[in-house]
Structure 1
Amino acid sequence: MKRILYGMLALAALLVMMTPVVAAEKVVNLYIWSEYIPDEILANFTRETGIRVNISTYDSNEAMYAKVKLVGKGYDLVVPSSDYVGLMRREGMLQQIDTKKIPNFSMISPRFTNQSFDPNNGYSVPYMWGSTSLAVNTSLLPAGTVEKTADLWKPELKGKLLLPNDLREVLGVGLKVLGYSINETNPEHLRLAFEKLQSLMPQVRVFDSDSPKQALLSGEVAAGLVYNGEAYVANGENPAITYIYPPEGFSLWLDSFCIPKGAEHVEAAYAFIDYVLRPKISAAISESMGYSSPNIQAVALLSEAMKKNIIVNPTEEMVAKGEFLDSLDEKTLKIYEEYWVKLKTK
């Protein structure tokens, strides 16, 4: 009898030990930008795999980085931009990616792989790319009021400008106007950009990276520095809202899936990444969100209207004027952060 009892206890203990492992395969905790993946994609993934997707959102790389660094665990996938992929990789916050577990990784254009911020994609898998540039409600401003970044300082825009809640993008405005790189590291150039931006602050009505299209559509602002996907949706609802690629250059970015060091559902995370990289799924996401896909076959599946839409798929000549955000060293990033705080609190 004791032998049977001991055997039952051992079996119960074994089942208790096994339960978390089984549960780990049935959920993936996704931490992603607001309005960045369609609900139906998540629902279809769950129907097909049985893996539930718990989604949390953020409106800036800084917020995501601070949260992941603070909590340590709780998220299985995060979607940082290129500069923060580099930062989080250097700080040991990410797990190495085994691309052999992601068959659809082969769908990604070589143009977006093996970047300087993550050589050989050891820690990241490209999800979306796009631009951050000028959106203008032409029904609220005289024709030709905003054609380049320097026009944001015009008196017609006082109290009518939107900027993203993003230190790199905003500091990038000051740098570009002065003819510097958005990846500038020279402290003197950063100081000059900060001083230039101080005179722009009276123009700013709101900082918003969450859903800036709302302020444009409501008429709360007349122009803004926004992500191209937001401009795409706004333009679809109000054609008077146009998207401009300024001649002096603008910001390009690449957002990627990363698995944080504290992830508890790694295999589920791999399954989700591979699912999203299916050409039909990537194409559906791009069509819905208005952002550019790094997936070669997905681009081929887009509607002709989407392929020709320069907000989503700019020409090579337009892209050539842009500059991809790269990661910064810790010392330089601290300078950016100090100027960012001063700009927002003054």
Structure 2
Amino acid sequence: MSRILIAGMVLCALLTACTKKETAETAQEVNLSIWGNYLSPELQAQFEKQTGIKLNISNYSSNEELLAKVQMGASGIDVAVPSDYMVDIMRKMSLLEPLKAELLPNRDLVSADFLKQSFDPENQFSMPYTWTTSGIAVNRDVFKGTVTGWKDLLDNPQLKGKFALLDDVRETTGAALKMHGYSVNTVKPEELAKAKATLLAAKKNIKMFASDTIDILNNKEVVAAQAYSSDALQAAAKAPGRIEYLIPAEGSTMAIDNLVIIKGAKHIEAAHKLINFLLSEEAELAKVKTTLSGPVLKNTQALLPKDLQNNKALFPELKTLQKLERIQDLGDNNKLYEDVWLEVKTK
């Protein structure tokens, strides 16, 4: 056999070995895009230790920001955590990979209350991760005034230059709609016009739009903020007795956030391992204790410390829950909200 042929065979073998090694190494990671403050460093480390898979995390501040990233392509996202209505949108746009039930044995632990929702009736593309409400958080160290409803935030001279609204088209427009007694899913032009006028007036007094509200509340950058319950409760945990969270009297929103795999994900098997891990009882207990968001497994609430089990901000009473709405995909009518938001943000 010639030396050239032998050398060629050796080089080929080396290249094949390198390719296999690179593929194996690449397979040992997974890219998660998730809301801020929704997965603790401890839980990330636990997943990596149990599976040997490196977990890369990026964040987004709204469902629409996530959608834009995915639509641009080459986002590198394997797993994401969109809210209910955004699962519906992404599913209809063929942006999600079907889940492989055989790779998710922990799905049997999930409460039926969170399965087979209208946005994914057979859970073909999504599994619930957690649920939250939205409302108002107040730093009582610096503001003693009465806050019971949206008007106390959106139209309150005492809060001029001192409050924040979520940087989220549906949540923030929804707050203005609720203030006037309308549904967060209305498509009536006159109701949306009234909400827009309310937001344009509020913008003159707002300090910032921000979807991560923990630090701005604790650092007293703002004295009040429209906030997700998990962020408000985390802020309260860091400042016991100082941060109050309430669901406005007019009502607000409740959302189920869901684990999905993005179409074209490069790490499908690792993505399923991540989702299955996050649906384990051990992971969910740790998640609820740190993120203070609602559990989706059957037995979690009973296993929580008593103070969390009895926390009415984490587990609202029935009469409060009945005032909450879920944001829905409105199809072509989504543009009505986008037009309102564009004018609010640019004027």
TM-score past 0.5 threshold? yes
Residue 47 of structure 2 is matched in structure 1 by 45
CA contact (8 A) 2:69 2:75 kept: no
In structure 2, do the counterparts of structure 1 residues 132 and 9 end up closer, same or farther at CA, with 3 Å as the change threshold?
same
Residue 58 of structure 1 is matched in structure 2 by 60
In structure 2, do the counterparts of structure 1 residues 137 and 13 end up closer, same or farther at CA, with 3 Å as the change threshold?
closer
- Aligned to 1:204, the other structure's residue is in SS state coil
- Aligned to 1:54, the other structure's residue is in SS state strand
Counterpart residue type for residue 193 of structure 1: A
Instruction: State the distance in 2 between where 1:327 and 1:265 align.
Output: 29
Residue 224 of structure 1 is matched in structure 2 by 225
Residue 130 of structure 1 is matched in structure 2 by 132
Residue 165 of structure 1 is matched in structure 2 by 167
Residue segments in structure 1 that go unaligned for 5+ positions in a row? none
Instruction: State the distance in 1 between where 2:32 and 2:306 align.
Output: 31
- Aligned to 1:119, the other structure's residue is in SS state coil
Shift of 1:192: 2.3
CA contact (8 A) 1:85 1:118 kept: yes
In structure 2, do the counterparts of structure 1 residues 16 and 141 end up closer, same or farther at CA, with 3 Å as the change threshold?
closer
Instruction: State the distance in 2 between where 1:20 and 1:296 align.
Output: 40
Shift of 1:227: 0.7
TM-score (norm 1): 0.93
Instruction: State the distance in 2 between where 1:183 and 1:72 align.
Output: 32
Instruction: State the distance in 2 between where 1:123 and 1:96 align.
Output: 5
TM-score (norm 2): 0.92
Counterpart residue type for residue 30 of structure 1: L
Shift of 1:23: 3.0
Shift of 1:240: 2.7
Q: Is 1:114 the equivalent of 2:96?
A: no
For residue 184 of structure 2, the aligned residue among 182, 185, 188 is 182
Instruction: State the distance in 2 between where 1:51 and 1:30 align.
Output: 12
Residue segments in structure 2 that go unaligned for 5+ positions in a row? none
CA contact (8 A) 1:114 1:120 kept: yes
- Aligned to 1:261, the other structure's residue is in SS state coil
Shift of 1:14: 4.8
Instruction: State the distance in 2 between where 1:239 and 1:328 align.
Output: 40
Residue 343 of structure 2 is matched in structure 1 by 342
Shift of 1:8: 5.1
CA contact (8 A) 1:59 1:209 kept: yes
- Aligned to 1:203, the other structure's residue is in SS state coil
Q: Is 1:203 the equivalent of 2:205?
A: yes
Instruction: State the distance in 1 between where 2:188 and 2:22 align.
Output: 50
- Aligned to 2:85, the other structure's residue is in SS state helix
Q: Deviations over 1:150-191 (max 9, x none)?
A: 222121121111111111110001111121111222333222
Q: Which moved more, 1:151-160 or 1:284-293?
A: 151-160
Following superposition of structure 1 onto structure 2, how do residues 1-346 of structure 1 map, counting pairs within 5 Å? 1=1, 11-12=13-14, 14-15=16-17, 18-19=20-21, 21-143=23-145, 145-152=146-153, 153-210=155-212, 212-236=213-237, 237-329=239-331, 331-346=332-347
CA contact (8 A) 1:46 1:53 kept: yes
Total equivalences in the alignment: 343
Shift of 1:340: 0.9
Instruction: State the distance in 2 between where 1:301 and 1:213 align.
Output: 26
- Aligned to 2:227, the other structure's residue is in SS state strand
Counterpart residue type for residue 137 of structure 1: N
Instruction: State the distance in 2 between where 1:220 and 1:73 align.
Output: 33
Counterpart residue type for residue 54 of structure 1: N
Counterpart residue type for residue 239 of structure 1: G
Instruction: State the distance in 2 between where 1:47 and 1:141 align.
Output: 44
Counterpart residue type for residue 164 of structure 1: L
Superposition CA RMSD, Å? 1.9
CA contact (8 A) 1:87 1:328 kept: no
Instruction: State the distance in 2 between where 1:301 and 1:25 align.
Output: 35
Q: Deviations over 1:255-297 (max 9, x none)?
A: 1111111200000010011111111210111101111111122
- Aligned to 2:299, the other structure's residue is in SS state helix
In structure 2, do the counterparts of structure 1 residues 151 and 26 end up closer, same or farther at CA, with 3 Å as the change threshold?
same
